Structure 1
Amino acid sequence: MHNHAIEVRRLTKRYGDRVAVDELSFSVPHGSIVGLLGPNGAGKSTTLRALVGLVKPTSGGAFVDGVPFSRLENPASHVGVHMDGFGFEGGITAARHLEITRLAAGAPRGRVAEVLEEVGLAADARRRVKTFSTGMTQRLGLAAALIGSPRTLILDEPANGLDPDGIRWLRRYLRGYAQRGGTVLIASHQLAELEQVVDEVVVIKRRALFAGRLGDLVTDDADSLESKYFDLVEGASA
């Protein structure tokens, strides 16, 4: 087993003259919840997409369990992904969506019922996805990420559209997942919320401004993740 569930090593991605990420390096230890933070355009989505094989690095690399995503055997058992742009077919039911996901992941037949239960959507399994609230859609996205029983989750703004009850549920869910040995990389703008769940943070603005334990960044009670975040981001050269 590799020391880290996720490693980003000197990742650079250019689109023509624009540099989306520049020599970015950080790692995510097994069993931890790590927050990936940065302003819009800082390269968070590019980094996540490079990790799951949707973006080819210009140089450097992004690794899950020690290898690039494209070289993972049965990737759904290594990493579950919930990102914007992973759309749902509105006309099908939640159960049908997950059945398609299950077949693609090669997961056992009973897995659909299990993940629906896990994310609190069992009662809504037969509803069409287009009738779902934003929060229910987020839960369905998480269920799809979990279908292959992965050891690592990569989540992009998973709390978007959740009400306070849903946010509390997500926080407890992720904490339990990590306590069972799972690893979570979570990109979010919700700093106050993130502060309650992450072990480590990576603050990026095309490159890493800080990568380490939350307690090493927010060192006293008068401070918050939000204040430290703005110190870093506003102090960084454009």
Structure 2
Amino acid sequence: MTDNAIEVRHLTKTYGSRTAVDDVSFAVRRGSIVGLLGPNGAGKSTTLRAVVGLSAPTDGAALIDGVPFARLAQPSAHVGVQMDGFGFEVGITARRHLEIARLAVGAPRRRVDEVLDEVGLTNDARRRVKSFSTGMVQRLGLAAALIGAPRTLVLDEPSNGLDPDGIRWLCRYLRAFAADGGSVLVSSHQLAELEHTVDEVVILNQKVLYSGALADLVRGDGDSLEDRYFELVEGTRA
């Protein structure tokens, strides 16, 4: 077992003549939260898809617990994934969706009630997904990611659709998950909230603009993650 839950090594992904990400390297240490930031089209989703085995690198590698996703013997016990495109059958209940998810990964039956409680959907378990708000759908997606009791989470914009209370709840949940030894790689545009949640940040714009501790990026009085983020991103457009 390596010290890193996730390692991205010189990852390059091209689609024909277009380069989505170019020589991207970073790591997610065990027990830490890493924010993956960048403008639309910067390669964040491409990077996450490579990490969880949905897209093969053109060059380089993306590893979970030291091996590519495809070589994990029981992937759901290593990593839980919440990404766009992981849809729901809107005519079924939240409980039924999670039952299907837990059967697919071989999780014990008790996990359905456990994850419903973890994400605050116990009282809505028998409601059909089509009646859910966007924020509730996000919570259900997180519950599905947790069904295999993974030690690592890969989350793509998990706060989309959450109201301010929901965003604060998510930040507290992720901090507690990390404090318990879990690791998180999270893509988000919620820079102000992310600043109070992550330990490290990776800022992408096809290439890595910054990778390291949040405290090393935001040093001066009055500095904010948002300020430093825009300095770096706008610098690549000059």
Q: Same fold (TM over 0.5)?
A: yes
Instruction: Spell out the pairing of 1:191-230 with structure 2 (5 A cutoff).
Output: 191-230=191-230
CA distance in 2, matches of 1:58, 1:71: 18
The letter for the 2-side match of 1:171 is: C
Deviation sequence 1:102-156 (CA, Å, 0-9, x none)? 0111111110000000100000000000100001000000000000000000001
Alignment partner of 1:51 is 2:39: no
CA distance in 2, matches of 1:23, 1:10: 4
Alignment partner of 1:171 is 2:171: yes
**Runs of 4+, deviation exceeding 4 Å:** none
Match of 1:148 in 2: 148
Deviation sequence 1:73-108 (CA, Å, 0-9, x none)? 110000000011111000000000001100111111
> The residue matched to 2:101 in structure 1 has which SS?
helix
CA distance in 2, matches of 1:221, 1:153: 32
> The residue matched to 1:210 in structure 2 has which SS?
strand
The letter for the 1-side match of 2:120 is: G
CA distance in 2, matches of 1:192, 1:51: 26
CA distance in 1, matches of 2:104, 2:4: 26
Q: Alpha-carbon deviation of 1:234?
A: 1.1
CA distance in 2, matches of 1:181, 1:124: 29
Deviation sequence 1:133-183 (CA, Å, 0-9, x none)? 001000000000000000000001111110111111111111100000000
Instruction: Give unmatched runs, 5+ long, in structure 2.
Output: none
> The residue matched to 1:236 in structure 2 has which SS?
helix
CA distance in 1, matches of 2:190, 2:176: 20
CA distance in 1, matches of 2:220, 2:158: 28
Match of 1:235 in 2: 235
Match of 2:122 in 1: 122
Q: Alpha-carbon deviation of 1:237?
A: 5.3
The letter for the 1-side match of 2:82 is: H
> The residue matched to 2:21 in structure 1 has which SS?
strand
Match of 2:67 in 1: 67
Q: Alpha-carbon deviation of 1:205?
A: 0.7
Q: Alpha-carbon deviation of 1:207?
A: 1.2
Instruction: Give unmatched runs, 5+ long, in structure 1.
Output: none
Match of 1:94 in 2: 94
Match of 2:10 in 1: 10
CA distance in 2, matches of 1:221, 1:101: 47
Deviation sequence 1:50-81 (CA, Å, 0-9, x none)? 01111011010100000000000110000000
Match of 1:28 in 2: 28
CA distance in 2, matches of 1:7, 1:66: 7
Deviation sequence 1:20-47 (CA, Å, 0-9, x none)? 0001000010000110000111100000
The letter for the 1-side match of 2:221 is: D
Aligned residues: 238
TM-score normalised by L of structure 2? 0.99
CA distance in 2, matches of 1:139, 1:221: 35
User: What percent of counterpart residues are identical?
Assistant: 72
